[in-house]
Copies of this chain bind each other. A is one copy, B any other.
Amino acid sequence: MEMATRRERLRAQTREEAKAAALRQIAAAGPQSLSLNAIGKELGMSGPALYRYFAGRDELLTELISDGYHDLADAVEAAGEAAAGAAPADRIRALTRAYREWALAQPHRYLLLFGTPVPGYEAPAHTTRAATRTLSAFLGPIAALGPDSRAAALEGQFEAGLADRDPDHPWSGPVLRLGVTGWTRMHGVVSLEVEGHFTQMGFDPGLLFEAEVESLIAEAAGSEAG
């Protein structure tokens, strides 16, 4: 176990403080408001000092996005583990709830991941792996519900597409279809919610989200719950 020098510890701490300040700015006024000069002012140093810690504004943003993907994956996986002994439907409910709660707790971070792409950002491989982790957490309980094939061409594409990257993957086409479908449905509700599109409509988005989860569960179980 390598002990960090004092200098290394201080450097890491400064980096984390800068990232936290950056997220506060983004939470207040969106990604375009991110300003290295303003972060420097908040930390009690000059803006250009931050170029000692990050190659530039793009690298800072890239790290924030990467952190977000990992954090979301961790939260969803933790919910899956906490519900490991439950029935598949309850596990899906727990997983979907964790997804939405993570987004509602930090909408600005959710929109960094899944909102309008920020120019200059490149997704490194480990970010893609974290995104895959989030989605994969749903596949086990969906498979346990035993979904039927509903769209053979599409399901074939999912199987082949994933096989290109992971030839030993255990998931059937219908499971993959419902995994991705579940993601698009969660995202559809959550993104419109955090963006404020529902505020004038007079309904509780949580109820709509739950209705969508129940619809997905019913579809995966092969029938429509009456």
A: residues with CB less than 8 A from B are 29-33, 111, 114-119, 128, 131, 150-151, 153-154, 157-158, 160-162, 164-165, 177, 180-181, 183-189, 191-192, 195-197, 200-204, 207-208, 211-212, 215, 219, 223-224
Contacts and interface: CB of A to CB of B under 8 A. Distances in A.
Contacts of A164: 202
Question: How many copies make up the complex?
Answer: 2
Q: Identify the 6 closest CB pairs spanning chains A and B, nearest first.
A: A161-B202, A188-B188, A115-B116, A184-B188, A32-B32, A157-B203
Nearest to A160: B202
B111 A177 contact: no
A200 B128 contact: yes
Nearest to A195: B117
Contacts of A29: 119
A195 to B, nearest CB: 6
Most buried by B among A151, A184, A200, A219: A184
Contact of A184 (B153, B180, B212): B212
B119 A211 contact: no
A164 B203 CA distance: 12
Given A161-B202, A189-B188, A191-B191, A32 B208 contact: no
16 contacts: A31-B32, A31-B116, A115-B115, A128-B200, A151-B207, A151-B211, A154-B211, A160-B202, A161-B201, A161-B202, A162-B201, A184-B189, A184-B208, A185-B185, A188-B191, A191-B191
